[in-house]
Amino acid sequence: MLRSIWASWRRRRLYRRCLEAPALVLRYHSVGDPARVREYLDPGLSVPPERFAAQLALLGRRFEFRTLDELEPLLDGSAAGDRPAVFVTFDDGYRDNHDVALPLLRAAGARATFYVTTGPLASGRGLWISELYRLVPRLPAGPLELDVEGGPLDVPADPAARTPVRRTLTRRLAAMTAADRERALDRMAGAAGVPRGEGLAGSFMTPDQLRALRAAGMLVGAHTRSHPHLALLEPAAHADEVAGSRRDLEAILGEPVEHFAYPNPGGGGAVPDAARTSAAAAGFRTAVTSRPGPLVPGADRLRLPRVGVYAGRQQELLFGLIGRSRRA
């Protein structure tokens, strides 16, 4: 109980500092009906459409919506507006970003930045995290051997008790190269007795939908090719993942892609120097993390903080504080 109270107090204090800063960067993943989202993503990472619409309305009263193209003048202190700025961002590239979030953003007069993992654009099979989410409940109970670091995992008989297994597998697979991860997923699908990518068709955006985002005034940024955890991946593999995702998107959009988000499956938001160096070498103007904190002038443009929006008490606390702020 005391630990929970202490954690809540610290989070409240952090959010108040974020709201006192000249700009706030929010990190979303998905907006959709929970029953549909549950087919490809942990619902804790998604926001129902009606709640997202209410959040946009609240943000619009407190902030001015901007995209990451407009961030740098705020960081050097040369372009302070009448109101603080809010940067709504989405990670990964789920199709509901286009089908559900985009119409709500347009209705609210809001703009957002969408960081897209490019591998699924070519495979059409969905993100590997989505596939892992669907595979783990279908695995047979008992030892699971994937020939990866850490050895076999014991899969409980009760699918509802398998969340720790999924989290461990997420961390292990995130440390692999894309080719090694694909082989591990092949073995998992074989053990589960289901085809690769089952049920994930249409869970990820298409190139045409990315172009539709841009046509609607949204910004598209890169999020690697295969969504590894760069802190766990050998630095030699960074260039293909980081610069490669930029090249992929530029070929689709026909314009420079200058903004990047570090993927962070299960990693706590840390960005090692090697990952930052890779983002700089790829020529990105900005790079955002998943570590929360206030966005202040002089911040490192390649290690920018963001406040995540998750289901439950965290979301209620964050938007409760926004709603009670003096400028709301």
Alpha helices in the chain, H assignment, sequence order: 2-20, 34-37, 49-62, 72-75, 95-96, 102-107, 119-123, 128-135, 163-174, 178-192, 207-215, 238-253, 273-281, 313-324
What is the end-to-end Cα distance of the chain in Å, rounded?
A: 32
Separation between Cα atoms, residue 52 and residue 37, nearest integer Å? 14
The answer to whether 23 and 79 are in contact (CB under 8 A) is no
CB atoms within 10 A of CB 89: 23
Which pTM value belongs to this model? 0.94
Q: Residue 19: is it exposed, middle or buried by C-beta count within 10 angstroms (0-12/13-18/19+)?
A: buried
Pairing of strands 112-116, 219-222: parallel
pLDDT one digit per residue (tens) for the chain, 328 residues: 556 666 788 889 999 999 999 899 999 999 999 999 999 999 999 999 999 999 999 999 999 999 999 988 888 876 666 789 999 999 999 999 999 999 999 999 999 999 999 999 988 889 999 999 999 999 999 998 877 777 788 999 998 899 999 999 999 999 999 999 999 999 999 999 999 988 898 999 999 999 999 999 999 999 999 999 999 888 889 999 999 999 999 999 999 999 999 998 766 777 889 999 999 999 999 999 999 999 988 899 999 999 999 988 889 999 999 988 755 4
Contact (Cβ atoms closer than 8 angstroms) between residue 93 and residue 40: no
Position 111, amino acid:
R
